[in-house]
Amino acid sequence: MRANEPVKLCDNIYVNPQKAMEFIRTDVFQYNIHHFVPGFGRAFWVKIAINKILKQQGNYCVADLTRLHDYYELKKHFENMYVIEVIDPNQSPISIEYIPYDTSIMKREIRHLSHILNDRFE
């Protein structure tokens, strides 16, 4: 089964798992969660990540930072965060919002990421 193939739930009812997860992730937990959990606004997922990070020591990598409101929420808690854009020439940009990146690297250079971070934080 592929993520974009409809799955039969019961007689004459099919659902596309990829579309269903997109609906839950975006429509429910980004645009409507504030109706059920006050104080989260659109930043439900990033606030959960922030709470986990604050409970532990160390450096963290947050992948898939595509929403500006998530960037600002992270910036409120981690002023010295370093944002790296990973560019895949075979894929169109995911973010429709401008995220202020500190630097950019090509996907094929990702194996050098530890060198970039070590240079930055030495």
| Percentage of the residues of the chain whose pLDDT score is greater than 90 | 8
Q: What is the pLDDT of residues 60-104, one digit of tens each?
A: 888 778 788 889 999 999 988 888 888 888 877 665 578 888 888
Residues with Cβ within 8 Å of 59's Cβ and at least 6 positions away in sequence, in order, are: 117, 121
Question: What's the pLDDT at 76?
Answer: 92
pTM, to two decimals: 0.65
